[in-house]
Structure formats: structure tokens, C-alpha cells
Structure 1
Amino acid sequence: MAAPIRFYLDFASPYAYFAAGRLRALAEAHGRALDIRPVILWAVLKAQGIGDPMGSDARKAYMLADMERSADFFGVPFRFPDAFRISTHRAARLFHAVAADRPEIAEALATTLLESFFVRGENIAAPEEVAAVRAVTGLDGAAITALIEGPVGRDRLEATVRAAIDDGVVGSPFILVEGEGFFGADRLPQIEWRLGRIEDPRGRRS
């Protein structure tokens, strides 16, 4: 069986949101599972010796404009969240805790968290307060908080951050295809090309 496509992301990354739908479709088209791995991006970048991606006024202005353009390009709804730069550790812990026990809803939860933040502008720093999160998990706020604060989500998030560092993650989204890394939503055409070459090294789809 073909190896899963490994998808590292931070839930506060607009480019992860832009990439997610098309990456899922690519995985399905090539008969591969999508291994979704939320991380805390600042912790990964710090370990890699990489500074703040929006650390200069010029780069910040460019990226903000590019986010609007990229949303138009990918054809997805998008709004700038009121609190754009948030810590997503609680959302990531929740994902990992849910994925450990109910993997069948993990992808739906990831989609819900991304859309809650980048479409509806909801505060995913407090996922227990987001109605769509409660709906997809079937849990009330107290149960969600218990998962966030429990050991499973904490431990799995810490392990995923360590794995991301070892895998050479340098941003979000970062996608691994058979060990080869691709950084950014704009790498999707190269990922499709690489998957085709893996399936037929002569450059023909079988």
C-alpha cells in the first residue's frame, strides 16, 4: 500500500487552509491516505533557527496582500481573523486527542478548525467555545476542555513537534511525499507531478 501523504500544519496558517482541500483531493486521486499533523509552528521554526516569517514590515505587507490573492486563486472563502496571530496549542491538542480515540472524524475536525478561523473568524484559541467544533465532535465545552488539558493531546502534540523538527519542517503547510518535503500551498502542482512520477517513473500515468 502506498505511504500516506504527511501534512504538517499550524491551524493559524492561511496557506495550510488554502492547501487543505486540494491536497485531500490529490491524496484521494492517487490512492493515498492524508496524515494530518498539526504543530505549533513557532516552536518548530525556533528549533530550526528560523525567524518570524512576518518579522519585517515589507514582508508582512506582501504576505497580507498575497493571502487575499491566494484565496482568490484557490477559489475559497477567506476573511482575516480579528486576532490573526494566535497560539493554536489548544486546537492542536484537541485534534491529537480526538484523532487518538476517533480517527474517523480527525479530518473533519481539522477542516472545521481551519474554516472556523479563516471563514467565520471564530476564536479557535478557545475551541471549546466554537459551536462547529462542538458539533463535529459531539462534545460539550467541558468535555472538549478536558481533552485539551488531558495527557493524550499534550503528549501527542509534543511528539509531533519533535517529529516535525526531525522531518525538516520549515513552515506551514509542509508536505512530505515518500520522505520528500514540499513547503507551501504553491507546491501542490509539484506534489501532483511527483506522485505521477512515483506511480510511473517514465513520466506516464499507468
Structure 2
Amino acid sequence: MQAFTFHLDFVSPYAYLAFEQLPVALEGCSYAADYRPVLLGAILKQYGHAGPHGIAPKYAWVLRQTRWLAHAHGIAMRMPAVHPFDPLPLLRLALACSQDGGISRHVAGRIFAHVWQADGADANDAQRLAALTRELAPRLDPASPEVKALLRANTARTLEAGVFGVPAFTVGQDMLWGFDALPMLRARLLQDAWFAG
């Protein structure tokens, strides 16, 4: 069985699409996925790079392309009322359900659905966040120093692995980036000889 880390931030539509498409892309592979929430804004800041919303034509393209990708792959997706939004409340909620900085596919899926399958609702609406928190029943307080430390540690380790955006996948020493890297991830997990060259 091959293991890999899926680095994600719930604010990224590409991370959501990759999360939804992952079981299809890796069908027939034997793998273990370690889902790691990270703060995309801190990663972009480290490289001195603005998010796509900082460049109006690029952001318009992101919105159009992600809608197309959702349509083409049969993935339900609705833009939240506010985007980009502050992902910290959702990242901390996810990590409040964690023991070591990794989260289950169930937790990741519920939070992604909260953002991207909610008919355009506000991802940070207080009532919706409270309901999601009750549903997930985290073991820690999302505002606790322990949770904040987990997010900082995840983001630091992600940067150390050479990740510059999300979604990203690390397998051994290999880092693969983006929704369109899913076929490459599959090949890597199947130990395609290309990776040894």
C-alpha cells in the first residue's frame, strides 16, 4: 500500500474538486491518504505570491474553469456567498477533530460540503458554523492554542516539502500540485518507472 499526504485548504475550489475526484482518479490503487489542512495564505505569502483574486482576469478564469471542471467530472459545486473567505475558522474546526494534524476523509468531506455544496451560503455564517461544529463534535476547542499550533506545524511542514499551493500531494520525496496532477499521482502510486528517471 502506498501512502501520500493531501495538503488542502477549504478556501480552494481546486482542492475541493481534487478531494471529490480522488476516489475516481485512484480507483484500483491501494493507498492511504493523510489529509492535512494548511493555511494557503501563509504559503502564498512565503513565496510573495498573491492569490488569484488579486488579479481580476485570473480570478475570473479560476471561477470559470472550476465550474467547468465540476461540470465535466459530475461534481456538485456552488460558489459560496463570499469568496475568498477567511478559512481559519474551518481549518481550526477540522484540526480540533485531529490527534496529530491529520484529519479523516469524513471530516474533510463534511467541511468541503459546507463550503462548496451549500447553494451559495456564506461559509463563515455563525449559525452554520455552530451547526457544523455540533455535527463534527471536535475533541478540542477550535480556538485553543493546541489547534493553532497544529495548523502552524502543518503549514510549516508543507512548506518544507516544497509545496507552493493547494491541492498538493506528497509521496515520498515527490511533490505533485493541482487538480490536473491526479493522473500523475496515480502513476506515482503505481510506481511508474518514469519517476525513477
TM-score range, shorter chain: 0.7 to 0.9
Q: TM-score with structure 1 length normalisation? A: 0.82
SS at match of 2:54: coil
> 1:49 Cα deviation (Å)?
2.4
> 1:26 Cα deviation (Å)?
5.1
Gaps in structure 2 of 5+ consecutive residues? none
SS at match of 2:5: strand
CA RMSD of aligned residues (A): 2.7
The separation in 2 between residues aligned to 1:202 and 1:19, in whole angstroms, is 23
More helix by share: 1
8 Å CA contact 1:27, 1:34 repeated in 2: no
> 1:150 Cα deviation (Å)?
1.2
8 Å CA contact 1:96, 1:156 repeated in 2: yes
The AA in structure 2 aligned to 1:22 is Q
> 1:27 Cα deviation (Å)?
5.6
Q: Cα gap change, 1:61/1:122 in structure 2, threshold over 3 Å: closer, same or farther?
A: closer
What does residue 164 of structure 1 align with? 158
SS at match of 1:33: strand
Q: Cα gap change, 1:127/1:99 in structure 2, threshold over 3 Å: closer, same or farther?
A: farther
CA deviations 1:88-128 (Å, max 9, x no partner) are: 11211121121118x7x722111011011111144443677
Q: Cα gap change, 1:35/1:68 in structure 2, threshold over 3 Å: closer, same or farther?
A: same
What does residue 62 of structure 1 align with? 61
The separation in 2 between residues aligned to 1:126 and 1:53, in whole angstroms, is 23
The separation in 2 between residues aligned to 1:159 and 1:202, in whole angstroms, is 32
2:108 to 103, 107, 110: 110
The separation in 2 between residues aligned to 1:152 and 1:20, in whole angstroms, is 26
The separation in 2 between residues aligned to 1:174 and 1:202, in whole angstroms, is 20
